Amino acid sequence: MPEVTLVEAVNLALARAMEDDPGVLVLGEDVGVDGGVFRATVGLQKRFGSERVLDTPLAELLISGLCVGMAVQGLKPVGEIQFMGFLYPCLDQLVNHHPACAIAPRDGSPVPWSCALRMGPAFARPSMIRKARRRCSPIFLACAS
């Protein structure tokens, strides 16, 4: 098996998930044209189209809210939050709205979605790591039903 970096592994995993399931889509700040702030989504928009790899405004709460709404509609969104420090506005969606929506479908169908976060020396300046550790450590990576 060839060696790959963490960012390459994320890209390969997203591509595989998108190949296997047309309901999987990626959304976040600069994930489309630019391939994300860390280039974890580079090439995905060209490969899968702008309807499945969506650039969003700089609004983490919007990303998490869209993920919950898309999941309720049967899609499998992967929301990219650039840094863990920006997760905190999203906690209302993660903790309150997603669980409520997850029990809403009367047919018992799941309401899955994922939230990709970046933290650590490979992804952030030292000052950002210290701030994130002060606020909450460790933190969860994904939310799914």
pLDDT at position 144, please?
41
- Structural domains for the chain: 6-135 (3.40.50.970)
Q: Can you tell me the distance from the alpha carbon of 138 to that of 135, in angstroms, rounded to the nearest whole number?
A: 10
Lowest mean pLDDT across 52-56, 86-90, 114-118, 121-125: 121-125
pLDDT above 90 as % of the chain:
26
Judged against a pLDDT cut of 70, whether residue 33 lies above it is answered with yes
116 phi and psi angles, rounded to 5 deg:
-90, 125
62 against 145, higher pLDDT: 62
Q: Can you give the pTM of this predicted structure? A: 0.73
Instruction: Lay out the sheet containing 53-55: strands in order across.
Output: 53-55, 24-28, 76-80, 114-116
pLDDT at position 140, please?
38
CA-nearest of 143, 127, 144 to 135 is: 127
138 phi and psi angles, rounded to 5 deg:
-80, 175
Please say whether the dihedral angle defined by the alpha carbons of residues 45, 69, 9 and 22, taken in this order, is positive or negative: negative
Task: Please check whether residue 127 is in contact with residue 80, taking contact to mean a CB–CB distance below 8 angstroms.
Answer: no
**Mean pLDDT, to the nearest integer, of 98-127?**
60
78 phi and psi angles, rounded to 5 deg:
-120, 105
